[in-house]
Copies of this chain bind each other. A is one copy, B any other.
Amino acid sequence: MNSIPQKIKIKDIAEKAGVSAGTVDRVLHNRGNVSDETRRKIQSILDEINYRPNHYASALASKKVFVFCAVIPNCEPGGYWELIEKGLLRAEQELYDFKVVVKVHYFDQYSPTSFAEAMDVVLKQDSAPDGVLLAPLYKPKTLVYAKKMEDLEIPYVFIDSCMEEGNPLAFYGQDSFRSGYLGAKLLFSQRSDVTKIAIFSFFDPGQTPSNQIALRMEGFKSYVEKNNRSCKVLRGTLSANNPEENEAMMKKLFEENPDIKGAAIFSSRAYVVAEFLQKYKLSNVTMIGYDLLEKNVMYLKNNIISYLIAQRPEEQAYKGIKAFSDNFIFKKEVQQINYMPIDILTQENIEFYLEF
């Protein structure tokens, strides 16, 4: 009654083929040293009986230690990349008994050079990692290292945003264009009288916008083009480390344009703008933002931000590492392109997203 479908093991196959377990093991792992004849015989049995190895027993017996490196921007407390790191750690924990180690390497998210340095360290270790997880913030540099890893035959996983030119083992992230598009839709669906909006970005001097943010902005504009062509879109440029300047800039912008009805910002730091809106009591401005940072959530709850669009960063990182283990340990097919859901968060449903 409570019996389990009898599991087929290596020994069974060996018996069926009239060989020893060792030989079956050799064909299973392509270790060579098997005559064509016996290999074919074993293979045909394998094909017909649907052998499914016990990966837990396998991991137990194996001595192999897997080292996966993650290369991500420095994690400010409460910032976006901290969520990514959380996912990495969760995956490492879960794979502990499979002898999986996740090493995190950090770089300065505003410096492509710093990214390159981190990658150099990762790839020039005495023993190469079994896989590298990274966020392709800056296309050109990333491309260089993608090439390098392909030459070294080190599989890599992209999170956050993708690059068509690369050929990762897997990608986990949002369709950034679409999430920008959705942002615009939500902004305009809120009210029918939106004729002027402001969008903000952190373009520091001499820096190219990150891949993802550029795409979100395109998506946003595309929606406006298509559905609210008459709406005026103003741009505000924020500085990463000069709050006073930012405040002055916004003050000027909103004073000169009191008819601004909507605001959007495509990085995760919506709270910078929200803080301003709250301080100056501009409750007539509808705002949308991105990512589930604590401070963003606070302004959502305070009704300063109407909608937050989220992308499950922790899950991206978690699944990124799991892609490696699925590939190496569980021998599962790994789907290459994996768009994460574009979650729409409001005051009413936010609380149910906080622990995920």
Residues of A with Cβ closer than 8 Å to B?
Answer: 1-4, 52, 54-57, 59-60, 65, 67, 96-97, 99, 101, 125-127, 174-175, 178-179, 181-182, 185, 189-192, 339-344, 346, 348-349, 351-353, 356
Contacts and interface: CB of A to CB of B under 8 A. Distances in A.
Contact of A1 (B2, B126, B344, B352): B126
Nearest to A125: B1
A169 to B, nearest CB: 18
A1 B351 CA distance: 42
A179 B342 CA distance: 18
Contacts of A182: 346, 348-349
B348 A181 contact: yes
A352 B340 CA distance: 6
* A-B residue pairs, 9 tightest by C-beta: A56-B56, A344-B344, A342-B349, A182-B348, A341-B352, A339-B352, A341-B353, A54-B97, A2-B67
A325 to B, nearest CB: 13
Contacts of A57: 56, 60, 97
17 contacts: A1-B125, A1-B126, A2-B101, A4-B101, A54-B60, A56-B60, A57-B97, A178-B349, A181-B348, A182-B346, A182-B349, A185-B346, A185-B348, A189-B189, A191-B192, A342-B348, A342-B352
Nearest to A129: B2
A191 B341 CA distance: 26
Contacts of A190: 189
